[in-house]
């Protein structure tokens, strides 16, 4: 059999394998279609600023799901950023319980832990949630240009104005899920935004459900005695025209688009200085070698090469197995490019999804 027929048969065999392959998608890169009544999972992340090694998240006395919090699988980007993602006790169903007030749990906070929580409120600690890969955020307005954007995370409490000395703990959350229908009337919904308005509701924490945030009666933790805290939440579904492909646009807000000329010029000057310094060192070394090479007797008895002159012509020498070398170099470059493109496209480093 001639070599041409062999290549033809090999190509035909490889072509027959195309129908046997299965496609796959990278987790987090495809939209999740929700149906009415389907459970929408709410995950909780670490508080920011990040807790020190000696801090214990249980000191905050947040509500826990049945069986205790369980760690959720994280992407490479989440691991590199130090995220700690756990499940939560929030019970949310797609397009259900609109504006219904729910009591999440009631917790007893000792006096020592109350002081710890108040100190964290003064340090502007923020809570971080994740829903369908999107971080829960607060809606804010840029005072410079009036643009509306989503600020990831929401405050643990309020320490401004009258609550500067004794901060108020936010024990109620108004959660707004923004959804988009790819095809109207198809009973398919996609989450394109998660907004949380935290509030502090005081009064009797053992009473019935109360989600009235209009009253100016905030809950303050007493640092002298034990405190009873009632956590409540309310879910609202709001339709949005934002498609799933551009749902991150509201999160990626640039506050200062001006070019930092000073930093740019400073970096250019440093790079030029280093290049000139390295070039001068190389030029001085090569010139010295050339001068010493020209100064010696060129007879066969004393001629001897040293340094870079011993290998300066090796790059032009034909290898013993050029085909093997070219295949290895080509495959190595292809694999390196494929790994880089895959990591970039999967969002392991640059995608805001992870």
Question: How does the average pLDDT of the chain come out, rounded?
Answer: 80
- Kindly tell me if the per-residue pLDDT of 54 is higher than 80: no
* 113-134 pLDDT tens trace: 999 999 998 888 889 999 988 8
pLDDT above 90: residue 273: yes
Task: Note whether 346 and 290 are same-domain residues.
Answer: no
Residues 186 and 302 in one domain: no
Residue 144 has pLDDT above 70, yes or no: yes
Whether residue 81 is found in the same domain as residue 206: yes
Q: Are residues 267 and 239 part of one domain?
A: no
Same structural domain, 88 and 201: yes
Q: Which residues pair with 158 in a beta bridge?
A: 168
pLDDT at 254: 65
- Based on the fold, state whether residues 183 and 226 are members of the same structural domain: yes
Same domain membership, residue 172 and residue 267 = no
pTM: 0.65
Predicted confidence at residue 213, as pLDDT, reads 80
pLDDT in tens, 186-235: 889 999 999 999 999 888 888 777 788 877 788 899 989 999 999 999 99
Buried b (16+ CB within 10 A) or exposed e, 120-138: bbeeebbbbbbbbbbbbbb
Between 172 and 78, residue with greater pLDDT: 172
Please write the tens of the pLDDT for every residue from 277-288: 999 998 888 887
17 part of a folded domain: no
Rounded Cα gap, residues 81 and 354, in angstroms? 9
Count of structural domains within the chain: 3
- What is the phi/psi pair of residue 54, to 5°? -85, -10
Query: Do 53 and 194 fall into the same domain?
Result: yes
Domain coverage including residue 279: 260-311
What is the C-alpha separation between 96 and 24, in angstroms, rounded? Answer: 32
Q: Closest Cα to residue 132, out of 251, 246, 253, 244?
A: 244
At 24, the pLDDT band (50, 70, 90 cuts) reads: very low
- Residue 169 · residue 229 · CB < 8 Å: yes
Domain-located, residue 189:
yes
Strand partners, 129: 44
Judging by DSSP bridges, how do beta strands 137-141 and 157-158 pair with one another?
unpaired
Query: Which pLDDT score is estimated for 151?
Result: 84
For residue 210, the model assigns a pLDDT of: 78
């Amino acid at each position: 059999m001639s070599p041409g027929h062999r290549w033809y048969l090999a190509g035909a065999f490889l072509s027959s394998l195309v129908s046997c392959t299965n496609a796959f998608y990278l987790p987090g890169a495809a939209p999740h279609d929700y149906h009415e009544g389907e459970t929408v999972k709410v995950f909780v992340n670490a508080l920011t600023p990040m807790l020190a090694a000696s801090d214990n998240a249980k000191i905050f006395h947040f509500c826990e799901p049945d069986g205790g919090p369980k760690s959720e699988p994280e992407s490479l980007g989440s691991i590199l950023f130090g995220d700690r993602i756990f499940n939560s006790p929030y019970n949310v169903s797609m397009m259900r319980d609109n504006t219904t007030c729910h009591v999440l749990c009631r917790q007893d906070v000792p006096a020592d832990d109350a002081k710890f929580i108040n100190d964290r409120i003064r340090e502007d600690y923020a809570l971080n949630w994740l829903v369908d890969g999107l971080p829960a955020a607060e809606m804010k307005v840029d005072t410079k240009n009036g643009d509306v954007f989503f600020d990831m995370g929401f405050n643990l409490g309020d320490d401004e104005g009258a609550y500067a000395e004794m901060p108020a703990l936010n024990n109620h959350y108004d959660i707004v899920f923004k959804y988009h229908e790819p095809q109207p009337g198809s009973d398919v919904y996609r989450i394109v935004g998660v907004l949380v308005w935290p509030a502090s509701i005081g009064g009797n924490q053992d009473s019935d459900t109360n989600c009235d945030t209009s009253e100016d009666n905030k809950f303050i933790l007493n640092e002298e005695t034990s405190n009873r805290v009632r956590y409540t939440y309310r879910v609202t579904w709001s339709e949005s025209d934002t498609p799933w492909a551009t749902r991150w646009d509201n999160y990626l807000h640039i506050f200062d688009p001006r070019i930092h000329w000073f930093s740019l010029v400073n970096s250019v000057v440093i790079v030029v200085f280093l290049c000139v310094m390295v070039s001068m060192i190389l030029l001085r070394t090569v010139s010295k070698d050339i001068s010493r090479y020209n100064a010696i007797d060129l007879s066969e008895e004393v001629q001897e090469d040293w340094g870079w002159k011993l290998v300066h012509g090796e790059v032009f020498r034909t290898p013993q197995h050029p085909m093997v070398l070219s295949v290895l170099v080509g495959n190595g470059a292809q694999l390196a490019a494929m790994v880089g493109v895959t990591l970039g496209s999967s969002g392991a480093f640059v995608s805001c999804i992870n």
